[in-house]
Amino acid sequence: MSHPLNAELSEVDGAIYPPSTKDNILHFDAEETPVLRIDDDHGEEKDDSSSCGVGQIPAEAEDAKPEPIEALASSLTSFLGVGAPSVPLPSSASRVVAPPPSLPPPTTASGMPRWVTDDDPRVTRGEDGKWTAIIEVDPKLHGFLIGTRGVHSKEMELATQCHVIFPGRDSNSPLIRIVSALGAQNVALCLDRIEATLHSRSVKSGLNTNRKNGTHFAAIPCNDPWVRQRFLTFQDLMMTTEEVDPSCQVEALFPSKMKLHLTIGHLQLETDEEKELARKTMDMLKEKYAQRPPIEVHIDGFDVATEDQTAVHVLFAKVHGQGVQELIDDIRDELAKADLMTKVDKRSVRLQMPLMNSRYAATDENGNRSKFGNAASNRKTFNPSWIMREHSDFPFGSFTLNRFTICNVESEDETTGYYECFYDETLN
pLDDT digits (tens, 9 = 90+) for 227-245: 999 999 999 999 999 999 9
Q: Which of 80, 113, 138 is the last residue of a domain?
A: 80
Together in a domain, 254 and 383: yes
Together in a domain, 162 and 230: no
Residue 14 lies in a domain: yes
User: Which comes out higher in pLDDT, residue 364 or 293?
Assistant: 293
| Pick from 73-87, 97-111, 128-142, 189-203: least confident | 97-111
pLDDT digits (tens, 9 = 90+) for 143-153: 878 876 788 88
Residue pair 316/355 in contact (Cβ under 8 Å)? The answer is yes
Together in a domain, 313 and 357: yes
pLDDT of 209 > 60? The answer is: no
Residue 289 lies in a domain: yes
Rounded to 10°, the helix 151-160/184-205 angle is 140
Q: How many CB atoms lie within 10 A of CB 157?
A: 16
pLDDT of 266 > 50? The answer is: yes
Dist. CA 96–CA 83, nearest whole Å: 32
Q: What is the pLDDT of residue 264?
A: 94
Together in a domain, 173 and 319: no
Residue 85 lies in a domain: no
- The domain containing residue 74 runs over which residues? 10-80
Q: Could you give the dihedral angle defined by the CA atoms of residues 298, 301, 307 and 309, in that order, rounded to the nearest 10 degrees?
A: 140
Q: What is the pLDDT of residue 71?
A: 52
Mean pLDDT over residues 99-116, rounded? 38
pLDDT of 377 > 70? The answer is: no
Together in a domain, 287 and 379: yes
Residue 200, SS3?
helix
Q: What is the pLDDT of residue 213?
A: 62
Q: What per-residue string of b and e applies to 1-39 under the rule 16 or more CB within 10 Å gives b?
A: eeeeeeeeebeeeeeeeeebeeeeeebbeeeeebeeeee
Together in a domain, 173 and 222: no
Q: What is the pLDDT of residue 180?
A: 94
Number of structural domains the chain divides into: 3
**Phi first, then psi: what are they for 83, rounded to 5°?**
-95, -165
Q: What is the pLDDT of residue 210?
A: 34
Residue 117 lies in a domain: no
Instruction: Give the domain CATH number at 360.
Output: 3.90.1140.10
Together in a domain, 280 and 323: yes
Give the closest residue to 343 by CA, choosing from 408, 263, 265: 265
User: Which comes out higher in pLDDT, residue 264 or 79?
Assistant: 264
Together in a domain, 360 and 414: yes
pLDDT of 70 > 70? The answer is: no
Mean pLDDT over residues 66-90, rounded? 45
pLDDT band at 10 (very low <50, low <70, confident <90, very high): low
Together in a domain, 318 and 409: yes
Residue 115 lies in a domain: no
Residue 101 lies in a domain: no
Average pLDDT, the chain: 76
pLDDT band at 397 (very low <50, low <70, confident <90, very high): very high
Together in a domain, 224 and 132: no
Q: What is the pLDDT of residue 201?
A: 61
Strand segments (E) across 314-413: 314-320, 352-357, 395-401, 403-408
Together in a domain, 200 and 257: no
Mean pLDDT over residues 197-218, rounded? 61
Q: How buried is 108 (Cβ within 10 angstroms: 0-12 exposed, 13-18 middle, 19+ buried)?
A: exposed
Q: Which of 80, 107, 133 is the last residue of a domain?
A: 80
User: Which comes out higher in pLDDT, residue 141 or 19?
Assistant: 141
Together in a domain, 173 and 221: no
Residue 422 lies in a domain: yes
Dist. CA 178–CA 187, nearest whole Å: 6
Q: Choose from 16-25, 133-142, 194-203, 275-284 the range with maximum mean pLDDT.
A: 275-284
Q: What is the pLDDT of residue 44?
A: 43
pLDDT of 58 > 80? The answer is: no
User: Which comes out higher in pLDDT, residue 369 or 31?
Assistant: 369
Q: What is the pLDDT of residue 415?
A: 93
Q: What is the pLDDT of residue 384?
A: 97
Mean pLDDT over residues 51-74, rounded? 47
pLDDT of 185 > 80? The answer is: yes
Residue 105 lies in a domain: no
Mean pLDDT over residues 84-92, rounded? 36
